[in-house]
Amino acid sequence: MALEFRHVTKRFPTRTGKEVTAVQDVTFTVNQGEFVSVVGPSGCGKSTILSMTAGLYGPTEGEVLVSGERVNGPNPHVGFMLQKDLLLPWRDIVSNVEFGLESRGVDRQARRARAMQELVHCHLEGFEHQYPYQLSGGMRQRAALARTLAIDPEIILLDEPFSALDAQTKLLIQNSFAKVIAEQRKTTLLITHDLAEAVLMSDRILVLSERPGSVIAEIAVDLPHRDEPLRRRTLKEVGDYAAQIFTLLKLEEKAVA
Amino acid sequence: MTDATHDTRPAARPAGRIPQAAYAVIERRVQTAVSLAILGLVLLAWQFLPPLLGVPRYIIPTFSQCLAELQRMYQAEGLVGHTISTAIYTLLGFAIGSALGAAMGYLLGMSRFWEKVLSPYILALQIAPKVAFAPLFIMWFGYNAMPKLLVAVLIVFFPVLVNVLQAMRTVDRDLVNLARAYSLNRWQIFRKIEMPSTLPNLMAGLRIASTLAVIGITVGELVGGNSGLGYLIAYGGGQANAAMVFNAIILLTVIGFALYLVLERIEARVLHYIPRAQG
């Protein structure tokens, strides 16, 4: 098991002194090499799940395990990516990709070699000495993926990494991410509110309820071409899956109202 | 809005015939020419207007009278020494004040607690007119370089401090989280994330500080000095020698301007990764 949430509840103190429950009793597992998406209405605690996996903060109740080990702090086996590329504007692309390796006792030459290798995987060779502002949004996200892959994480966490891209770039970047992730057999957790994206890219989809978020459904996407969303997109079943999730989320909304 | 539609960028029309790059060169030359023409006009007015209006030389000396006085100051008043003295103390005051300001800004920026505790006092000191401390410093330290240096340090300190502190507060939390997720320690986060993130603000603070440093030193010299351009201003003023005061003011401006230009150069080099608007 690459990632496991066991009865995880997270409460945050608010300004007024009350507590707000972000996620409630969340239990799920992600297997080695699996691509799992988490969808749900906004504010349902999707990002909380991601932050707890990365070890930025711990759960209030329950436990999070990565590769069978309990997460107790920033976890070196986890790489995460946000909607923002979080590239350091003062570094060129290759130095940005090296960033994650700098606290790991990897020497300079090995870092550079590793970074260049990932830049090639992410089709950014030739851009290594450009600065982030010189690259398009899609290329910057690919550079961020290269940085994430450079630390050779056991799990990749993606928090809506495509939502700031325009529609066409989004399809292409989804495709290139899916390919690279499949090639390297990385376990991936994708947080998204784009239902089609979830269906196109995942093996399995977890549907969360409104806040406090808990898993209300788990859908196995039984379609080929996970490594090529552009091809999977042409399958007619995709629409059925999206519709199924849509219904689930709608129903949940009504239940709350 | 109507204005903009009226003259649809005079730049755009000739660009059709002349290559864009060549046009940019021409435009820059025209700018320089107009700029120099304005300087010429001001100098001419300065030279001929006061006599024409019957203004005596102890009120407004003409351009040529100022030049003659400059020559005299060079020969008889040790002008070069005074200028160098002021320039060096300005630089020193600027360097010490901004180093302290930046250090304090970063320290407070790392501790929410101390920032909260100290911010009212910092605000009070920031509002207090620093130049008013000059007589006090002279009472404490006597007629030497210390008072003017202290005034400059004090006046330079706050804009740098405030700029750095402001920048430390607004460092992207997600970048810091990314660094934490990559197991960087506190010092590495400071060196690799916070320090570079705050650099644009630090540079802006330094630019403001550079102009203030000149003020600090000048006031110190005015109030109680026997060297520097500020002293020459007080001295010339006492003798109703307006030309001397004019010259000293111009030289002070030159010192401040030089410091500013150097900083601008450094900034352009250090912040090369920030795309800047054309022109």
Q: Do B181 and A80 touch (CB under 8 A)?
A: yes
Contact at CB, A82 and B174, closer than 8 angstroms: yes
Looking at domain A1-77+155-239+251-257, its CATH superfamily turns out to be P-loop containing nucleotide triphosphate hydrolases (3.40.50.300)
Out of B172, B183, B193, closest to residue A76 by CB: B183
Confidence category of residue A55, pLDDT binned at 50, 70, 90: confident
Say if A103 is an interface residue toward chain B (CB within 8 Å): yes
Is this complex's ipTM strictly greater than 0.90?
Answer: no
Looking at the fold, whether B81 and B126 belong to one and the same domain comes out as yes
Per-residue pLDDT, B18: 66
Contacting residues of B for A74, CB less than 8 Å apart:
180-183
Based on the fold, state whether residues B28 and B78 are members of the same structural domain: no
Where does the pLDDT of residue A22 fall: very low under 50, low under 70, confident under 90, or very high at 90 and above? confident
Look at residue B9 in the predicted model and tell me its pLDDT. 47
What is the reported pLDDT for B2?
Answer: 40
The letter for the amino acid at B211 is T
**B155 & B73 share domain:** yes
Least CA distance to B272: which residue of chain A? A90
Residue among A88, A97, A151, A160 with most chain B CBs within 10 A, to mutate: A88
Q: Read out DSSP for A35-81?
A: EEEEE-STTSSHHHHHHHHHTSS--SEEEEEETTEE--SS-TTEEEE
Interface test with B, best of A85, A101, A103, A134 (most B CBs within 10 A): A103
According to the model, what pLDDT value does residue A149 have?
Answer: 87
Interchain CB contact of A80 with B (< 8 Å)? yes
pLDDT recorded at residue B62? 93
Inform me whether the pLDDT recorded for A152 exceeds 90: no
Is the per-residue pLDDT at A237 higher than 90? no
How confident is the model over B25-83, as pLDDT tens digits?
A: 889 999 999 999 999 999 999 999 999 999 898 899 999 999 999 999 999 989 999 99
Q: What is the pLDDT of residues A96-118, one digit of tens each?
A: 999 988 888 888 898 999 899 88
Q: Residue A83: closest CA among chain B residues belongs to which residue?
A: B174
- Max mean pLDDT range (A157-161, A192-196, B207-211): B207-211
Tell whether the model's pLDDT for residue A50 goes beyond 90: no
Q: Do A74 and B274 touch (CB under 8 A)?
A: no
Number of structural domains, chain B? 2
Residue spans of the domains in chain A: they are 1-77+155-239+251-257, 86-152
Q: How many CB pairs (< 8 A) connect A and B?
A: 53
In this complex, is the C-beta atom of A86 within 8 Å of any C-beta atom belonging to chain B?
Answer: yes
Chain A residues within an 8 Å CB radius of B175 = 86, 88
Residue B30: give the domain boundaries: 14-53
pLDDT along chain B (279 residues), means of 10: 43 57 88 95 94 90 93 92 95 96 93 89 89 91 90 94 93 90 88 94 94 94 89 93 94 95 93 71
**A131–chain B Cβ distance below 8 A for any pair:** yes
Among A64-73, A87-96, B163-172, whose mean pLDDT is lowest? Answer: A64-73
Instruction: Decide if B6 is inside a domain.
Output: no
Three-state SS across B98-157?
A: HHHHHHHHHHHHHCHHHHHHHHHHHHHHHHCCHHHHHHHHHHHHCCCHHHHHHHHHHHHH
